Structures are given as structure tokens and as C-alpha cells.
Chains A and B, each alone.
Chain A
Amino acid sequence: MKTVKAKPQTPEAEKEYVEFMKRYKAHAEAANRVALTILVWGPSPDRTCPAARKRKKIKEALKEKGHNALFSEDIKLKSVDLLDMSQKSKEHAQAKAADLIIVLVEDSKGALAEFHDFCGDPQIAPKMFVLVPRRFRKGYSASGALRDLADAHGGVFWYGDDDLKRCKVCAKAIQRAQALRLIRAQAGSFQ
């Protein structure tokens, strides 16, 4: 598991490790001043399947990291102009406004459809990070839209069945959000 940490075994290694952590922490602190608006798409939070639980966990973990993490279901705008909009149009608007979109397609036909709807939009595609089970590798999405997204933006993470349980998926989502923070922090731009 990649989440296992290195443990210094010698005094020299301990010293190097502490020095590294000092630099690493300073770097992370600079980035942590950036809060991103992150949409987390996936199975309905009312369901009890592992992917739905994972979706909630990802949102909570991102919020704990200081991001404005949201489910589309959470966004209740009461503007009259929005009443006539289709769900697709609303989500398109949300996607354009967000900094990052985490998509958990497992057990969620809706999230897969949303991904297909918007992955061709050049303003939205770079923001997408799709988490896909390895067993989907032989499907149409894998050889089409997911492949394009991976090749163009590296926005796809394939995971094994045990990775969902062992939280590698959540770690990857947080890592992607942190990476975007670092990019924003280094660019000095807060969009």
C-alpha cells in the first residue's frame, strides 16, 4: 500500500526525515492557504453502497482540508431563472464554476452520464478527475472518453476492488485536490 509511511531506522535517517518534513510542511502550508470549490459527483448519498459511502467520505475529507467541497444535490439556488433549466444545464453551470470535479462512477450511472456529457467541454475537461474501477477497463468509456481524459490531462485513476475499502481512492482524490492547490499557489493565481 502506498499509504504506508517510511520509518527512519537510523539516527541519520531520522535527521534527514525531520529535515525533509520541515521543508515539506512549509511547502504544504503555502498551498493550504488556497481553498478550492470542489464538486464530488457519484452515487446518491442516500444509498448504502460502498461507493456512496466513499463519496461522502471524500467530501468530508476535502472539507476537513479546508476546501469548499459540495455535492450537486447540496446546491439549492432559488433564482427564478434556474427553475426552467434542465438538470444537465444546472450541472454544466456548476461544473464551469467549480475548480475541480471529482467523479466516482462506480454504482452511479448518473455520474458516468455527467462525465460523458461534459468531458468534451474544453473548459471543464481539465477540471475533471474520474475514479474508475479497473473492471471497467474493457468498456466503451475506457477506450473513449476516459482514455482521452487520461492522455490529455491525466485525469483518471483506475483502482482495484480492495482500494475502495482501503481508502486509496479517497487518498487519490485528496492528492489531486492538493496538487491543484500547489499549482494555484505556485502560479499565485486564485481565479
Chain B
Amino acid sequence: MTKPSKTDWQIAEVLADANDSLVLWMIGREFCVTPEAFRAQFGTTFPLNDIIEELEEGGFVEEYDNKLRLTERGTATLASMAPPEKKSSVSELIAADMGARAAETDLREATPSIAAASIEDEISACISELKRPIDDAESSESDRREYLLIRLNVLLLIQDGYSSFVGEFLGKVCAGEYQRSLALFAISAARSRSLEEAFTVALGIIAQFVDPEVLVEASKLGAELGRMNHLEIAITTSRHVEPFRRLLRSAGGDWTRALLVRIGLEELEQTLAQESE
């Protein structure tokens, strides 16, 4: 084949990135044509500014009359996304979405696996990163240090045998945006010691907040250890059980309800739904 041009690469890289494609899609569908609308529909933690900047630089999106719209290149890029082969039912759509999210969970970039390095190595790496001179010019420096400090504390707790306190620690001190990624990191770190320890960390986290992606990890460990009943108890006694119930009851809770069924907690799903009625 002919060698891809720089434009071919740019288009393909946008299509290969789910976030870039999502923003392109939403603008193309005119579902969200302003950053404010996007934040209202998809939350404030999504790194929208970076993505829009990147799409504008690449010539995919432009601003016109205070609204975002696709350029010719953006329209062509979106059009090249394969159409669905058949109409899917709602449950198939949810299953497809779950599959895609689960695949991302397995290779989550914001959740570095530390299987290849020991906890001690990770602690040393964290400390040397923190000792590095502060670069005032870098606006993300304080965020980075905050993240490293919390990460270091998570590792120290696990190293010192306080795995059961990791969840409480994260629940109390962790900034919202790091909560999920550090929770998953803590489970991964503990897993390098033992399955039991990873499960203990996962249960401790669920006792504080029931995050669907943490739930996926916890269910894998619970199934492997034959301790799914402990996971069920952790969910029902969690401090976060009320918001979780509300989520299950909400129109947007399909994915989470399907997740509970998928991990074998159908009865719990029914119980929580009933109790919330």
C-alpha cells in the first residue's frame, strides 16, 4: 500500500481515540455544540478543552458564531466510522457498551499496573519523583505532587499491612478526580502481594464508594476467591449505598444494573431496586 500521509495519520488517530471520536460525534450530531453543553451532558471531569484544542489544531472542528461545528475533514472522518451492521436491541447496546468499557478497564491507562515492579520499587520511584525540584512553570505541578503523595500513602498502607484502611483513606483524602484511578491502582498494587489482599482493598473501597469499575475488579477477585457473598455484603453496607441505589433506579442506571447481573449479583440488583421503591 502507499505510505500513509500525515493527514491519514491524523484522521486515523482521531478515530483510534474514543474520546476524540466521541466529541466529534456529539458535535456532528449537534447534541453538544458548546463546551458548556458538553459538560452538562457528560460531567466536568472529562478533559474537553484538551480534546477540542487538539481537534481544532488538526482541522476537524472549528468555532463559528460561538458554536462548534465540524469542518469538511471532521465530517469526512465521522462518515468513515463504520455503520452498524444491524439494528440492536437495548440489551445488546448495553452489552456492547459494557464490553467496550470492560476492555478499557482491562488496559486502563490511568491505572498503571505494577505487576512488573514490587511495591518497594514503586515507593522508591514515588519518593524520588517527589524529591525532584519543583518546576513552577509547569501549571500541573501541584496536581502531580498531590497525586504522588496520595499514591505514596496508598503504597505505604499496603506495605505496612493496613490494606483494609486504604478505602477509608481514599474516601477521606482523595480528590474526586483521582479517586477511581487510585482505587484501581491500590487494588492492582495489593494484587502483587496476594489475591486476598487485593480483595480486602477492594472491599474497603466499596465500603466507601461503589464505583462500577471498582466493582468489576472486585467481582473478578471475589469470583476467583469464591467470596462473592463478601462483595455483596460490602455493597449493601457501604456508606455509598444510597447514591448507588439512586443510580440503579435512574434512567441512566441501565449499564450498572446490567453490570450487577453480569457479575452474578442479580438478586442484589433486585433487592436494591425493591428497597428503593
Taking Cβ atoms with an 8 Å cutoff, the residues of A that contact B are: 1-14, 16-27, 30, 48, 50, 53, 56-57, 61, 64-65, 126, 152-155, 160-162, 165-168, 170-171, 174-176, 178-184, 186-187, 189, 191
CB within 8 A of A8: which of B10, B42, B50, B96? B42
Q: How many residues of B contact A (CB 8 A)?
A: 68
Does chain A have a CB within 8 A of B31? yes
CB within 8 A of B81: which of A27, A57, A64, A155? A27
Name the residue among A9, A17, A170, A171 with the largest chain B CB count within 10 angstroms.
A17
Secondary structure dominating the interface of A: helix
**Once bound together, how far apart are the Cα atoms of A171 and B51, in whole Å?**
15
Do B42 and A154 touch across chains, with their CB atoms under 8 A apart?
no
Per the 8 Å Cβ criterion, residues 42-93 of B in contact with A are: 42-43, 45-47, 50-51, 80-85, 88, 93
Do B112 and A166 touch across chains, with their CB atoms under 8 A apart?
yes
A5-B46 CB under 8 A given contacts A12-B41, A168-B109 = yes
Nearest CB in chain B: distance from A183 CB, A? 5
Nearest CB in chain A: distance from B28 CB, A? 10
CB within 8 A of A2: which of B19, B40, B250? B19
Do A179 and B112 touch across chains, with their CB atoms under 8 A apart?
no
Nearest CB in chain B: distance from A178 CB, A? 4
Per-residue contact bits, chain B 96-121, to A (CB 8 Å; 1 contact, 0 not):
11011100101111111100110001
Do A25 and B99 touch across chains, with their CB atoms under 8 A apart?
yes
**Once bound together, how far apart are the Cα atoms of A19 and B132, in whole Å?**
45
Do A26 and B110 touch across chains, with their CB atoms under 8 A apart?
no
Per-residue contact bits, chain B 30-41, to A (CB 8 Å; 1 contact, 0 not):
010000000011
Surface stretch bound by A, among B1-9, B159-167, B190-198, B266-274:
B1-9
Given the complex, which residues of A lie within 8 Å of B26, measured CB to CB? Answer: 16, 20
Nearest CB in chain B: distance from A157 CB, A? 10
CB within 8 A of B46: which of A6, A61, A64? A6
Do A165 and B129 touch across chains, with their CB atoms under 8 A apart?
yes
Q: CB-nearest residue of chain B relative to A26?
A: B82
**Once bound together, how far apart are the Cα atoms of A108 and B80, in whole Å?**
39
Secondary structure dominating the interface of B: helix
CB within 8 A of B51: which of A2, A30, A170, A174? A2
CB within 8 A of B116: which of A20, A56, A175? A56
Nearest CB in chain A: distance from B258 CB, A? 11
Given the complex, which residues of A lie within 8 Å of B17, measured CB to CB? Answer: 2, 175
Give 14 new A-B contacts, CB below 8 A, not counting A26-B83, A27-B82. Answer: A2-B17, A4-B47, A12-B41, A18-B93, A18-B97, A20-B26, A21-B100, A25-B96, A153-B6, A154-B10, A160-B138, A175-B16, A178-B12, A182-B16
The 3 closest A-B pairs by CB, nearest first: A179-B12, A178-B16, A189-B1
**Once bound together, how far apart are the Cα atoms of A27 and B82, in whole Å?**
5
Per-residue contact bits, chain B 131-149, to A (CB 8 Å; 1 contact, 0 not):
0100000101000100100
**Once bound together, how far apart are the Cα atoms of A69 and B93, in whole Å?**
32
A182-B12 CB under 8 A given contacts A56-B116, A166-B110, A167-B112 = yes
**Once bound together, how far apart are the Cα atoms of A25 and B45, in whole Å?**
23
Do B42 and A27 touch across chains, with their CB atoms under 8 A apart?
no
